[in-house]
């Protein structure tokens, strides 16, 4: 059994114990800082809570004024205990399995499975339950709210839409001189359509604009295969690709300082951290119009019109044209990207919105 599973088990046991109340304001988090989008956001939010004198606990539910649940709770017993101990429950909705996507169609070897399994259905049921039982619900974007309403449960009151946030002192623009313009593909690169969109864009534009490509993030087997095949078929272009692989989120500012434009082709995202981090670093973003990402970009990038899950040649065409528009006015887009992050995604502002939802004290800044 992994260390993570043991710790999660101990956290659940700890929640059952009647810890004595303390005088300091305390919030319970159901997810410890870890890898992946929700885990990284847990890290950012807990750091900001700590900076503003709100203690975060992961195993002492009775000590807390409020409990923040990431994705799903641990069951109805959690709500009964929270009610008994007067702890406000707040659910942060993460991803679930959209039935329109998981339509059981057959996929080529290595591609993302489209089968709606009993495990997928169980996850959806648990989120439905939590949407009904939580005292308050936080959606990461208006798109997240729309999809959740459509497929799981339409929460009509006691909810907020709060985008993710970023530490603007850690993620900030760093000027570099005398190098080529560098495209960035970053995050969890685990499905065929990610590099299946990015690599054709790079192949089309690298010679014309003297480009390089930086690849940062977890690479699935299919993505590794795509890079290998691209290298074999495009030797001259492949020499301009730097594959970094997975890094901890605290290392992302350094990686982003080496890039100029983020390509984010994933459609249907709720609120990707990597997009907000790129904006904070003054890196313009190119994305599709279907999904929560389009709510984030503002003037700090280009939003390409597409249908839901509309991957293919038309999408590559639109993304390529968007990259060229940004290259033509890169300094303006970069300044707009940073301004968008300062206006919308400062972790201090986002933290205060979470505190309001949980009934905790605001921080002044």
pLDDT at 3: 72
Q: How far apart are CA 108 and CA 149, in angstroms?
A: 32
pTM for the full model?
A: 0.94
For the chain, how long is the longest CA-to-CA vector?
67
Residues 6+ apart with CB under 8 A from 80: none
Are 104 and 116 in contact, with CB atoms under 8 Å apart? yes
- Best CA proximity match to 260, nearest among 305, 210, 217, 196: 210
Domain ranges of the chain: 3-165+346-358, 181-344
SS3 assignment for 11-40 = HHHHHHCCCCCCCCCEEEECCCCCCCHHHH
What topology does CATH give the domain 181-344? Rossmann fold (3.40.50)
Q: How many CB atoms lie within 10 A of CB 324?
A: 14
For 116-134, write each residue's pLDDT tens digit.
888 888 989 999 999 999 9
Which tokens go with 108?
């080529």
Collapsed DSSP state (helix, strand, coil) of residue 289: coil
CATH superfamily, with its number, for domain 3-165+346-358:
Glycogen Phosphorylase B; (3.40.50.2000)
| pLDDT lower than 70: segments of the chain | 1, 109-110, 363-365
pLDDT at 364: 63
pLDDT at 98: 84
For 158-185, write each residue's pLDDT tens digit.
999 999 999 999 999 998 777 899 999 9
pLDDT at 1: 62
- Equal fold, 3-165+346-358 vs 181-344: yes
């Amino acid at each position: 059994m992994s260390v993570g599973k043991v710790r999660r088990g101990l956290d659940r046991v700890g929640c059952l114990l009647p810890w004595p109340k303390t005088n300091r304001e305390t919030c319970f988090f159901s997810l410890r800082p870890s890898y992946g989008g929700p885990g990284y956001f847990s890290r950012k939010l807990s750091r900001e809570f700590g900076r503003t004198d709100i203690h975060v606990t992961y195993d002492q539910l009775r000590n807390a004024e409020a409990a923040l649940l990431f994705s799903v709770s641990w069951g109805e017993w959690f709500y009964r205990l929270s009610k008994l101990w007067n702890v406000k429950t707040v659910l942060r909705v993460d991803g679930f399995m959209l039935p329109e996507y998981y339509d059981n169609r057959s996929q080529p070897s290595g591609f993302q499975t489209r089968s709606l399994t009993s495990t997928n259905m169980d996850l959806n049921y648990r989120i439905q339950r939590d949407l009904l039982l939580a005292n308050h619900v936080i959606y990461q974007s208006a798109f997240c709210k729309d999809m959740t309403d459509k497929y799981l449960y339409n929460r009509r009151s006691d909810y907020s839409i709060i985008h993710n946030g970023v530490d603007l002192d850690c993620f900030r623009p760093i000027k570099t001189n005398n190098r080529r313009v560098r495209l960035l593909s970053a995050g969890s690169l685990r499905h065929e359509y990610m590099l299946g969109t990015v690599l054709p864009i790079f192949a089309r534009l690298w010679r014309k604009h003297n480009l390089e490509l930086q690849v940062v993030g977890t690479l699935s087997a299919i993505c590794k295969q795509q890079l290998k095949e691209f290298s074999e078929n495009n030797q001259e272009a492949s020499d301009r690709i730097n594959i970094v692989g997975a890094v901890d989120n605290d290392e992302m500012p350094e990686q982003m300082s080496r890039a100029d434009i983020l390509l984010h082709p994933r459609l249907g995202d709720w609120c990707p951290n990597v997009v907000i981090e790129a904006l904070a670093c003054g890196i313009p973003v190119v994305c599709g119009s279907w999904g929560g990402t389009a709510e984030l970009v503002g003037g700090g990038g280009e939003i390409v019109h597409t249908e839901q899950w509309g991957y293919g040649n038309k999408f590559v065409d639109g993304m390529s044209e968007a990259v060229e528009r940004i290259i033509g006015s890169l300094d303006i887009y970069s300044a707009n990207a940073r301004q968008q992050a300062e206006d919308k995604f400062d972790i201090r502002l986002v933290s205060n919105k979470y505190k309001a939802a949980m009934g905790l004290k605001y921080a002044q800044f």
